[in-house]
Amino acid sequence: MRCSPGGVWLALAASLLHVSLQGEFQRKLYKELVKNYNPLERPVANDSQPLTVYFSLSLLQIMDVDEKNQVLTTNIWLQMSWTDHYLQWNVSEYPGVKTVRFPDGQIWKPDILLYNSSYDQQQKVLAYGMHC
């Protein structure tokens, strides 16, 4: 099967046109979503509703085992997910846009404090989403 150079350019141009149109809708959606968004407000329709945050923890690597002091040093991956009521849109109004990415600090994040300690003198704390 032979393909003419003109056909290749036409296919490439058509794919780029689709991407650029999606970019336009994505920019429009992004502006709409952040217009009245406050990252300090819990993203629920009704303030009396709970917001469920799902956690997933995966052990990636055991870095060190100190049997004498009973310390296990690991590398883990922590994933959290939740539904943000304010970051929803009608797909038919923004064709091709399935996801939108936001810079850190621009959307609400749960205030999570992970505490890990092998003994009282050695404490490690991971604060996530804390607004100071």
Q: Specify the pTM.
A: 0.65
Number of Cβ within a 10 Å radius of residue 129: 16
- Does an H or E element contain 35, and which? none
pLDDT (0 to 100) of residue 14: 53
List all residues 6 or more positions away from 39 whose beta carbon is below 8 Å from its beta carbon: 105, 106, 107, 108, 109
Mean pLDDT of successive 10-residue stretches along the chain, which has 132 residues: 53 51 86 94 95 95 92 90 94 91 91 71 60 55
Mean pLDDT, the chain, rounded, equals 81
Residue 122 CB burial class (10 angstroms; 0-12, 13-18, ≥19): exposed
List the one residue out of 127, 108, 104 whose CA is nearest residue 116: 127
Q: What is the pLDDT of residues 101-129, one digit of tens each?
A: 999 889 999 988 777 766 655 556 666 66
- Domains defined for the chain, CATH in brackets: 5-102 (2.70.170.10)
pLDDT (0 to 100) of residue 115: 72
